[in-house]
Structure 1
Amino acid sequence: MDRALTRQAISATLHCLTGCAIGEVLGLVIGTAFGWSNLPTVVLSLALAFVFGYSLSVRSVLGSGLSLRGAIGIALAADTLSITTMEIVDNGVMVVLPGAMNAGLANAMFWIGMAVSLAIAFVVTVPVNRWLIGRGKGHAVLHAHHAGH
């Protein structure tokens, strides 16, 4: 097993997890604040997870001299499968955990459910990123454009 490849996959997945977690929590806070039901809250959370995930990648490559359009293209190529995998697993776990979705932001069950769902999503997404990077795709594309490279 190639440890360097695995370390890259873990790093890529942590990057993905950061954007997904920011977007999801923000979406859940907004949905709860407005008293929305689960469906529009989850839709907003998903959308924000992609926005924040892609934004982190765009920010990381803009310093390399790429145009905003080029940086967005790199982010789409680097992150789409990773974010999609993480969101499917994370939201699937939240839906099947009894009471997690309806617990509310002030309830520990919600936050425990979120932590468990993101941890499981991380574990499932690492091999996806490892497979992508091993084929020169995913975050391998992103790293080729980091500032200073």
Structure 2
Amino acid sequence: MQHDAHAAHAHHETAATSTWPMAVQATLHCLTGWAIGEVLGTALGWGDVPTLVPAIALAFFFGYALTLRGVLKTGVGFRAAVRVAPAADTLSIAVLELVDNGVLGLRPGAMDAGLDDLLFWGAPAIALAVAFVATAPVDKWMIGRGTGHAVVHRHHH
């Protein structure tokens, strides 16, 4: 009984603190993971489709790693932190990747551009802006439900 009341109270606190700044922070966190993966895949010289799969995998890896690092800093054990990262980031990164790669796919040559090509930096900037606008509301919704980055914030407090 007491546990149920505590859980309801914790969910209410999380929902009450589901602000746009929190959602923006969570979305920017996922964008950072994506950017590392995308730039690394391109720097390694992978082509169009060969870049796509590893870049998506790297986006998830770096997104989870950044969350893991933050949660570990709060003193949470490694095993618990490893469970928190996917809970916090999976849906957000998936939406980000779907929208981002969809937008990039609409611009011919964008995925083949090299690091020294303006198209490499311009097309993803536009794609990321569109993906950000699509993903931030998802992050806000998840935080409001006590999931997503709300899980991370619970460990910070």
Whether the TM-score (by the shorter chain) exceeds 0.5 is yes
Give the letter for the 1:95 counterpart: G
Match of 1:26 among 40, 44, 55: 40
Report % sequence identity.
56
Q: What is the alpha-carbon distance in structure 2 between the residues aligned to residue 145 and residue 72 of structure 1?
A: 13
What do residues 45-100 of structure 1 show as CA deviations (whole Å, max 9, x unaligned)? 11111111000000001022222121110011000000111111111111111221
Q: What is the alpha-carbon distance in structure 1 between the residues aligned to residue 73 and residue 20 of structure 2?
A: 26
Q: What is the alpha-carbon distance in structure 2 between the residues aligned to residue 29 and residue 74 of structure 1?
A: 30
Give the letter for the 2:130 counterpart: I
Match of 1:113 among 113, 123, 133: 123
Unaligned ranges ≥5, structure 2: 1-15
Q: CA RMSD in A?
A: 1.6
> How far off is 1:4 after superposition?
5.8
What residue in structure 2 maps to residue 63 of structure 1? 73
Match of 1:15 among 25, 29, 34: 29
What residue in structure 2 maps to residue 88 of structure 1? 98
What residue in structure 1 maps to residue 85 of structure 2? 75
Asked whether 1:46 is paired with 2:45, we answer: no
> How far off is 1:3 after superposition?
9.1
Q: TM-score w.r.t. structure 2 length?
A: 0.84
Q: List 4+ stretches of structure 1 deviating above 3 A.
A: none
Asked whether 1:144 is paired with 2:145, we answer: no
Asked whether 1:5 is paired with 2:19, we answer: yes
Quickly say closer, same or farther: Cα 1:117–1:72, change in 2 above 3 A. same
Unaligned ranges ≥5, structure 1: none
